[in-house]
Amino acid sequence: MNERIKELRKKLNLNQADFGKMIGVTVTAISKVEKGINNVSDRLILSICKEFNVNEEWLRTGTGTMFNEVSRDDEIAKFFENVQLGSDNFKKRFISMLSSLGENEWRVLEEMALKLVEDKKEDTNNISDLKKQAKQKQTELDEIEAKIEKIQESNSSPEGNENSKMA
């Protein structure tokens, strides 16, 4: 299990100190668990699973997926919980502003979001077209370079030099 805890921590891009802080243990405790020096308590397992939405079966046995599937509603609820408990004033002000929107303002916001998605699709298509054109131009350039090499080879051969003298 110690290897899986280390694998999880690395997957989350956390150092031992930050990982430990998030589940209420010291960096030393995490280090000893990862090295197999300390056993993993049930309390620690439950803390890890709750904090990082880890599949307990995977953590204990290595079977199944690392993370539990989360519904969109649960994901949103978790986000709001984190905003409420956190100290990020911008997120709080932004959520407060959104909560004060009326139905017409929500429709306008939705239209703007849909327009952003459409613009992104258009940009992606334009980039794709430009890549195709660049590939085509590269092919043409390769063909021209091949023709130049043939001409240079023919001019550097003895027969090519005699032909150029006769001309």
Closest listed residue to residue 44, CA positions, set 26, 62, 66: 26
CATH code 1.10.260.40 for 2-61: yes
Half-sphere exposure at residue 51, Cβ-oriented, CA atoms within 13 angstroms:
18
* CA 151 – CA 147 distance, rounded (Å): 6
For every one of its 167 residues, what pLDDT tens digit does the chain have, with 9 covering 90 and above?
Answer: 889 999 999 999 999 999 999 999 999 999 999 999 988 999 999 999 999 999 999 999 999 999 998 889 988 888 888 888 888 788 888 888 888 999 999 999 999 999 988 888 887 887 878 888 888 888 888 888 888 888 888 888 766 555 545 54
Q: Is 132 exposed, middle or buried (0-12, 13-18, 19+ CB in 10 A)?
A: exposed
* CA 101 – CA 16 distance, rounded (Å): 42
- Cβ contacts of 12-19, under 8 Å, gap ≥ 24: 12/52
Indicate the domain borders of the chain. Answer: 2-61, 71-100, 103-167
pTM of the complete model beyond 0.75: no
* CA 109 – CA 92 distance, rounded (Å): 19
